[in-house]
Amino acid sequence: MDPILRRSSFYYVTSLLMYMSLMGRYMLTRDWPVFEIMPLFVPVWILGGLFASESDECYAFLRTLPVPDRRVARTKFTLILSIVAVQWLLMIGAALTRMDEGIAEPSTLVYVTVTCAFALLAAAGYQIAVWRFGLSTMKPVLGVSIAAGIVMAIIHLASLKKVDDWPALSRLGVVEWLGGAPWISCAILVAVALLAYRALMRVGVRVKASSEAHL
Amino acid sequence: MDTVLEATDLTKHYEDFSLRGVSLAIRAGSISGIFGPNAAGKSTLLKVLAGQAPTHQGSVQVFGSAYADAEQDLKNRIGYVPQEPVFYPDKAVQWLARFSAPYFARWDGAGFYRLLDEFKVNPLKKVKHLSGGQKKLLSIAMALSHGAELLILDEPTAGLDVVHRRALLDRLRAFVADGDKTVLAASHITDGLDEIAEEIWFLDDGRVVAHEDKDDLLARWKWVHFKDGALPKAIEEGLVRVKRLPFGSSGLTGDFLNLRGALAGPLASGDVRLDNATLEDVLLSFIKGA
């Protein structure tokens, strides 16, 4: 296994295991609005993994090794994609097991896919920003983003329970409509997200090679 | 002799500093020294030459290739030691070796541990517990342990004690002894590299202000000590860094080879005396405002 991938994966895998042990348990055991709230934590968790991984990275040292920058950039992007894909698959699996109970619906599959796609692209954007502006500049931005994500999820959860007409994101009209043919919708959403991610990865490779802020 | 590294018109801008139109060529089998004051651009230049930082203009060819075309191959053939080496601070030295080894085509693990032993760097120690000098030695050990043909060293002797400095200088001499390998080092003048460098580049304010073979350079730069009125006026006016002293004056000339004839008379009279200049003396005469 590539040493850079092995080293970087530690933080992402740790964050995945934490997510699945905490949130996954809820998704398998709790009732509505568990599938409305838990996917909102996916971007938060991915950004947390990114934050920890980048804090412990040493790009100046990596640049002295015979490893092209594009390989380092692709390794990081592949890792983010893999972790989000695993998270998506596990959440889809959890949703499918709860459909008979009515806790999850076909639109839940679409909603989970949308949140994972958002997490994927947000993580890619932040990764590029870290390379472009350096971690010290991006640390406050990442920290505020993570905190804002947690606060918004908690406010959303509280509002769903306390406010009668508070809108559920997983039951928005467009999500419901896409949920009419969930597998086709998910396939299209995944394809679009992957295309956008690929474009961001190309940008990331260029930014990583031309920037010194992260060294 | 073959050129192993050729830089043309390198330009790189930072907020408060610019490397401006630097061109140089480094011969195979030589030890070349880039000397200059603080903030002259030495580290920036070496970073660009070692493929650690991009330029805004100009090109670098190493072993006939550009980094854009052959980064992996070139970094296998180059050993780069930065001014302040950076490693994963929480990892042990031996972990770094295990981490790095798969990336090098010709990693010599046994040689690396021999060097650590020679440099008295404990492989079990975490990087954050190493001193600045030990980090430098660790970086040098890594640069020497993967079959590099060109060493690019940024102030390699800075922070080293006299024993390790001497050992490193001897090792660099041995490194180039067979004529195939090359050393390019940037340094302040007084740390020993000036002794072993064969070709000298002076850098000031982001520009190359002088480049010459060291022996030629030192042959034409001399201190001239003279009693007042003993030197022909034209020669006296051509001296730089002139110091007026109670018993006479001293000045530096970079044109000694052409002045030899004119100085023969005053030298014979005993009113004029010559001394060899050091590289530091010469460098100071090139630096603006020194």
Give B53-89 pLDDT, tens digit per residue: 999 999 999 999 999 999 999 999 999 999 999 999 9
Structural domain count, chain A: 1
Mean pLDDT of B243-253: 89
Q: Which amino acid is at A121?
A: L
Select from A80, A79, A154 the least CA-distant residue to A118. A80
Cβ distance A61 to B53 less than 8 Å, yes or no, reads no
Give, in degrees to the nearest 5, the angle at Cα B72 between B70 and B76.
115
Mean pLDDT of B269-275: 91
Mean pLDDT of B267-274: 90
User: Shortest Cα distance from B158 to chain A (angstroms)?
Assistant: 19
Q: Could you tell me the residue ranges of all domains in chain B?
A: 3-88+146-213, 221-286
Mean pLDDT of B249-274: 90
Of A23-27, A46-50, B186-190, B207-211, the least confident = B186-190
> Chain B interface, mutation test: which of A1, A8, A55, A65, most B Cβ atoms within 10 Å?
A65
- Domain annotation covers residue A37: yes
The pLDDT-based confidence of B194 (bands split at 50, 70, 90) is confident
Residues of A in contact with B142 (CB under 8 A): 64
Q: What average pLDDT is seen over chain B? A: 92
Mean pLDDT of B161-190: 91
The pLDDT-based confidence of B283 (bands split at 50, 70, 90) is confident
What pLDDT shows up at residue A197?
A: 98
Range of the domain at A73: 3-210
pLDDT, tens digit (0-9, with 9 covering 90-100), for A181-191: 999 999 999 99
Mean pLDDT of A145-150: 96
- Domain annotation covers residue A155: yes
- Domain annotation covers residue A215: no
- Cβ within 8 Å of residue B288, ≥6 positions away: B204, B205
Nearest CA in chain A to B83: A60
> Chain A interface, mutation test: which of B56, B67, B88, B98, most A Cβ atoms within 10 Å?
B88
Q: Which of B72, B74, B86 sits opposite A60 (nearest CB)?
A: B86
pLDDT, tens digit (0-9, with 9 covering 90-100), for B112-164: 999 999 999 999 999 999 999 999 999 999 999 999 999 999 999 988 999 99
What pLDDT shows up at residue B1?
A: 59
Look up the CATH number of domain B3-88+146-213: 3.40.50.300
Cβ distance B72 to A64 less than 8 Å, yes or no, reads no
Mean pLDDT of A21-46: 92
The pLDDT-based confidence of B289 (bands split at 50, 70, 90) is low
- Three-state SS letters, chain B: CCEEEEEEEEEEECCCCEEEEEEEEEECCCEEEEECCCCCCHHHHHHHHCCCCCCCEEEEEECCECHHHHHHHHHHHEEEECCCCCCCCCCEHHHHHHHHHHHCCCCCHHHHHHHHHHHCCCCCCEHHHCCHHHHHHHHHHHHCCCCCCEEEEECCCCCCCHHHHHHHHHHHHHHHCCCCCEEEEEECHHHCHHHHCCEEEEEECCEEEEEEEHHHHHHHCEEEEECCCCCCHHHHHHCEEEEEECCEEEEEECCHHHHHHHHHHHHHHCCEEEEECCHHHHHHHHCCCC
Q: Which of A56, A58, A209 sits opposite B86 (nearest CB)?
A: A58
Q: What percent of chain B has pLDDT over 70?
A: 98
Mean pLDDT of A142-154: 96
The answer to ipTM > 0.90 is no
**What pTM did the predictor assign?**
0.90
The pLDDT-based confidence of B229 (bands split at 50, 70, 90) is confident
What pLDDT shows up at residue B104?
A: 97
Half-sphere exposure of B27 (CA within 13 A, CB side): 13
- For residue A33, whether the previous peptide bond is cis, meaning omega lies within 30 degrees of 0, is yes
Is residue B288 predicted with pLDDT exceeding 70?
A: no
Contact residues, chain A to chain B, C-beta under 8 Å = 2-3, 7, 56, 58, 60-61, 63-69, 209-210, 212, 215
The pLDDT-based confidence of A8 (bands split at 50, 70, 90) is very high
The pLDDT-based confidence of A24 (bands split at 50, 70, 90) is confident
CA separation for the pair B32, B15 (Å, rounded): 29
Select from A88, A105, A86, A87 the least CA-distant residue to A96. A105
Is residue A142 predicted with pLDDT exceeding 60?
A: yes
Q: What is the largest CA-CA distance in chain B?
A: 70
Cβ distance B52 to A64 less than 8 Å, yes or no, reads yes
Cβ distance A65 to B73 less than 8 Å, yes or no, reads no
pLDDT, tens digit (0-9, with 9 covering 90-100), for A87-140: 999 999 999 999 999 999 999 999 999 999 999 999 999 999 999 999 999 999
Cβ distance B54 to A3 less than 8 Å, yes or no, reads no
> Chain B interface, mutation test: which of A6, A64, A75, A214, most B Cβ atoms within 10 Å?
A64
What pLDDT shows up at residue B247?
A: 81
Helix axes A3-19, A41-55, angle to 10 degrees: 140
